[in-house]
């Protein structure tokens, strides 16, 4: 199939009819509200700052590293039963999302001969029960670990590393390099020091690529390749979306337009954004997106230092599941939300619904249909219910879920987030609020250099017994 034909056939589309006044009436947005946003300035900012957004070059500049990743992944698949990612935040959410999207939905439960690679585990927390549970189901001698932290100072990840290296040294002796891969900064931080000391295979997070924008570099590509996912096609989809998102007409740009819709809705008081995929394969895309949107846009100050307390709370939902737990609120609750439907035209399998119980019309009407038809009807019905009640929603439509379209989608969301930051006149690439919590953790655990922060914590107001219920 010709390249252009394939790419066009896989193109993601945006349907925002149910955001607009022509459909919703007075509760809908007007074109005037959209054009009143600083669109021209934001487009100019994206163009001028492209060189600073190093993540935008990832679809284009990784041919050599992709070859190295594929070679390492082939070796891991041949030698190991398990592949464990040690990380948190963007180092974990991206690999989880892509694995769920592109591998078998019961991947770890399949027998080895039906899997594309070793079982994948992503340890994105420090709950002690979780780590013990992992160790109950893996043999460390048959496991390859990939520790991911650009700074090398992420407490959660480094605690995992300390546990794993201790186990590996006990099992293997002095040389643990055959079972541990590092992904970190090329020069700075603690993990690169450890990687050199242990003589580890090391992949590097490119300069200027922050954690939540890192899925399309070795942070996410290695785990995907280990599980047999076509990472070249993933990057090809992102490259295609990069071309589409360079269109300076906001109303023709698949990333700029939804960003403008969200910011206009925020100005209306819609401070909650629900992402609702109608495919189990896309369930964890919503988790990945929640970090991207929240951490990028939740800012106390704008670029001029003015206090603005900006942001829109992302909510993860799943169609059809959450029609039975959340949609009542979305259709009859406050007008403080935008619901984004993430839909799929063609699923990767078809499940017919057999004929049965023909004497019970409330059941038999399903006979002869497919679950594919049912989930499509459920989504269309939910979109209609929200439209009828005057609640804002729009749909991102994927022709199917494959490596190309997932690459498109990830890149679309990244550019959408950056453009929203420009519209809100804030820095979408830092996270000062996260740093406060990190520093307090360091102080509580006695990390050198944080005595002043510890004194600050000690001086905080004491909890009052009268406000504790026993």
Residues noted as catalytic: 295, 324, 438
Rounded distance between C-alpha atoms, residue 265 and residue 333, angstroms: 16
C-alpha torsion sign, points 440, 442, 445, 448? negative
Rounded distance between C-alpha atoms, residue 75 and residue 40, angstroms: 49
Kindly report the number of other CB atoms within 10 A of residue 180's CB atom: 24
Closest Cα partner for 208 from 418, 39, 426?
Answer: 418
Rounded distance between C-alpha atoms, residue 377 and residue 152, angstroms: 48
Rounded distance between C-alpha atoms, residue 346 and residue 402, angstroms: 11
Compute φ and ψ for 31, nearest 5 degrees: -60, -30
For residues 312 and 271, is the Cβ–Cβ distance under 8 A? Answer: yes
User: Which DSSP letter does residue 206 get?
Assistant: P
Compute φ and ψ for 220, nearest 5 degrees: -105, -30
Rounded distance between C-alpha atoms, residue 331 and residue 240, angstroms: 36
What are the start-end ranges of the H helices in 248-392? 256-267, 283-297, 327-332, 361-364, 371-388
- CA 96 vs CA 85, 104, 179, 218, 267: distances in Å: 10, 13, 21, 14, 33
97: left (phi over 0), alpha (psi -120 to 50) or beta: alpha
């Amino acid at each position: 199939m010709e390249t252009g034909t394939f790419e066009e056939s896989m193109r993601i589309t945006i349907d925002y009819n149910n955001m607009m006044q022509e459909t919703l009436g007075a509760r809908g947005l007007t074109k005037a509200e959209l054009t009143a946003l600083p669109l021209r300035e934001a487009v100019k900012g994206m163009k001028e700052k492209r060189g600073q957004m190093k993540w935008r070059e990832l679809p284009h500049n990784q041919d050599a590293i992709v070859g190295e990743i594929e070679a390492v992944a082939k070796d891991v698949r041949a030698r190991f039963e398990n592949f464990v990612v040690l990380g948190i935040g963007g180092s974990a959410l991206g690999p989880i999302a892509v694995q769920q999207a592109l591998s078998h939905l019961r991947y770890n439960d399949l027998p080895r001969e039906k899997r594309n690679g070793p079982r994948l585990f992503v340890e994105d927390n420090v709950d002690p029960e979780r780590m013990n549970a992992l160790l109950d189901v893996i043999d460390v001698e048959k496991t390859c670990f990939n520790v991911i932290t650009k700074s090398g100072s992420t407490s959660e990840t480094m605690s995992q590393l300390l546990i794993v290296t201790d186990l590996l040294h006990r099992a293997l002796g002095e040389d643990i390099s055959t079972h541990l891969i590092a992904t970190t900064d090329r020069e700075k931080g603690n993990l690169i020091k450890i990687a050199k000391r242990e003589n580890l295979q090391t992949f590097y997070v490119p300069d200027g690529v922050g954690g939540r924008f890192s899925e399309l570099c070795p942070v996410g590509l290695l785990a995907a390749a280990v599980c047999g996912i076509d990472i070249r096609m993933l990057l090809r989809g992102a490259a295609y979306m990069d071309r589409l998102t360079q269109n300076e007409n906001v109303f023709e740009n698949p990333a700029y337009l939804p960003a403008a819709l969200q910011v206009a809705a925020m100005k209306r008081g819609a401070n909650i954004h629900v992402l609702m995929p109608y495919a189990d394969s896309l369930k964890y895309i919503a988790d990945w997106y929640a970090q991207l949107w929240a951490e990028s846009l939740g800012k106390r100050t704008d670029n001029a230092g003015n206090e603005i307390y900006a942001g829109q709370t992302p909510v993860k939902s799943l169609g059809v599941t959450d029609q039975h737990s959340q949609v009542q609120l979305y259709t009859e609750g406050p007008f403080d939300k935008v619901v984004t439907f993430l839909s799929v035209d063609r699923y990767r399998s078809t499940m017919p619904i057999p004929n049965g119980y023909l004497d019970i019309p409330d059941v038999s009407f399903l006979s002869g249909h497919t679950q594919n038809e049912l989930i499509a009807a459920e989504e269309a019905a939910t979109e209609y219910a929200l439209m009828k009640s005057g609640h804002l929603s729009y749909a991102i439509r994927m022709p199917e879920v494959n490596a190309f379209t997932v690459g498109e989608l990830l890149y679309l969301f990244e550019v959408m987030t950056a453009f929203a930051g420009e519209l809100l006149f804030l820095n979408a690439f830092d996270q000062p609020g996260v740093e406060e919590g990190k520093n307090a953790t360091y102080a509580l655990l006695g990390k050198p250099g944080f005595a002043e922060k510890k004194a600050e914590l000690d001086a905080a107001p004491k909890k009052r017994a009268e406000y504790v219920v026993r």
